[in-house]
Structure 1
């Protein structure tokens, strides 16, 4: 999985999210576009870059994250790359870029307390904020979402669907966000039943993938068909069908959790 980190950047004594080293590199973001120099490196960080957040160290280099509202490097030396494209090309920089994007999103969307409305204070020892008025602590959001590949006939048929946001002709595994107090397994059963009217069982975890668009975590399962006829959920599913494992339709990109799930369950390229 490309959109992942083997570990987040690490902090060293004396440095924190509010106090990093005097020099380093910056993961400069414009939306989901990530800046690299013409040599394919992170741009040099400048203390004059507004809104910078120190992320920690990676391979001995101090790393900051910032929005492209002012530049620490010559703009003519920068090239812009989509996080999705970096992941699709198996570029390991996509993982750190996704981490930086989610940290920036957290601070930008948690400026005020959701309980009392007071301004939040950034904590010095971790990526988090606390309200000085009521004591509420908040941390970066991670929204868990399940993905389910349903098979039948001894694994020779797979249930795939397409929604309004899919490209024409592209089918994917079923997916949905978990509800409060819901287990991942219960979420799988509920989402599949709601979206296509099918009952499943024998759930098996396959893989997970962080998805920083903006802050999801995909958790993928393989399940076996128990019963029910396909009835697409209006507004969510345009079409759902059983496909032979040897004659699959067009699938999502190879870096996606859906593609990796299908490949892991069915095997082969």
Structure 2
């Protein structure tokens, strides 16, 4: 078992997840750098926090935490949003990139104890920060969030959030509150954002969403009752859209796209039956 702060072997080609200011280092081909440490045009990594974060395709993966605006990696590529890795079907690579960003955020925001204010120390055998003054220990935070595609006959409920790009519509989503089961979150968020009740909710899949530390838990459901009343504090506009005449939706690779395509496939299958 690799310890988090164990350095890679000299003869071991690895995946390098270099994070700076919340962005990730990508090559000119928009790929994660891969190779032997001695062959990578990196600065001296002894000056950087380097963390083992897992394995991908039988290769070890290392996070390198760089300073904001660091130019020492320019020979490799440039720092871009992790969103660049969403598009396509390489879900494993995006998941590891999401992990690297979340771990980097955790390390940078837990240098001091939230209980007593003392400086925290990294734990040798796991990714955690420990306060030796009051014995408080912290792990990377994960914020669960439901996301749900709702159908009404051949229509799907889509809305445009205040932070969405112009013309982009997506399904409803919302954070789980403390002490709240997922089923209650589904009903509450849909009612708060769209004013409708749902039924027959079914879990589909989940996706790590590192913006900054969410876990998206995806469902599909059916409309039960109520007229759509969009929450103006959360959303710009929204309503029912025919499954064969959709507006611009999230890109392939996102869980929102997967849920929409899942509903479309089910509706199309019903039409053929």
> Could you say which TM-score interval applies, normalised by the shorter chain?
0.7 to 0.9
Partner of 1:139: 139
- How far apart in 2 are the matches of 1:227 and 1:81? 43
Partner of 2:40: none
1:115-134 paired onto structure 2 within 5 Å = 115-134=115-134
After TM superposition, give the deviation of residue 169 of structure 1 in Å: 2.1
Partner of 1:4: none
Partner of 1:239: 237
Partner of 2:17: 27
Please say if residues 7 and 50 of structure 2, whose CA atoms lie closer than 8 Å, have aligned partners that are also in contact: no
Partner of 1:158: 156
Please say if residues 5 and 50 of structure 2, whose CA atoms lie closer than 8 Å, have aligned partners that are also in contact: no
1:250-269 paired onto structure 2 within 5 Å = 250-267=248-265
After TM superposition, give the deviation of residue 238 of structure 1 in Å: 1.5
After TM superposition, give the deviation of residue 43 of structure 1 in Å: 5.9
1:1-269 paired onto structure 2 within 5 Å = 12=1, 15-23=2-10, 25=14, 26-30=16-20, 31-36=22-27, 41-42=33-34, 44-45=36-37, 46-58=44-56, 61-69=59-67, 75-91=74-90, 92-153=92-153, 156-267=154-265
In the superposition, the TM-score normalised over structure 1's length comes to 0.83
Task: Count matched residues.
Answer: 252
Please say if residues 145 and 175 of structure 1, whose CA atoms lie closer than 8 Å, have aligned partners that are also in contact: yes
Moved more, 57-66 or 201-210: 57-66
Specify every segment of 5 or more residues in structure 1 that has no aligned partner in the other structure, as ranges: 1-11
> CA 1:149–1:127 in structure 2 vs 1: closer, same or farther (change >3 Å)?
same
After TM superposition, give the deviation of residue 57 of structure 1 in Å: 4.6
> CA 1:117–1:170 in structure 2 vs 1: closer, same or farther (change >3 Å)?
same
After TM superposition, give the deviation of residue 234 of structure 1 in Å: 2.0
Partner of 2:271: none
Please say if residues 34 and 97 of structure 1, whose CA atoms lie closer than 8 Å, have aligned partners that are also in contact: no
After TM superposition, give the deviation of residue 159 of structure 1 in Å: 1.1
Moved more, 40-49 or 188-197: 40-49
> CA 1:242–1:161 in structure 2 vs 1: closer, same or farther (change >3 Å)?
same
Please say if residues 22 and 47 of structure 1, whose CA atoms lie closer than 8 Å, have aligned partners that are also in contact: no
SS in 2 for 1:200: strand
After TM superposition, give the deviation of residue 132 of structure 1 in Å: 1.1
CA RMSD in angstroms, aligned pairs only: 2.5
Specify every segment of 5 or more residues in structure 2 that has no aligned partner in the other structure, as ranges: 38-43, 269-273
In the superposition, the TM-score normalised over structure 2's length comes to 0.82
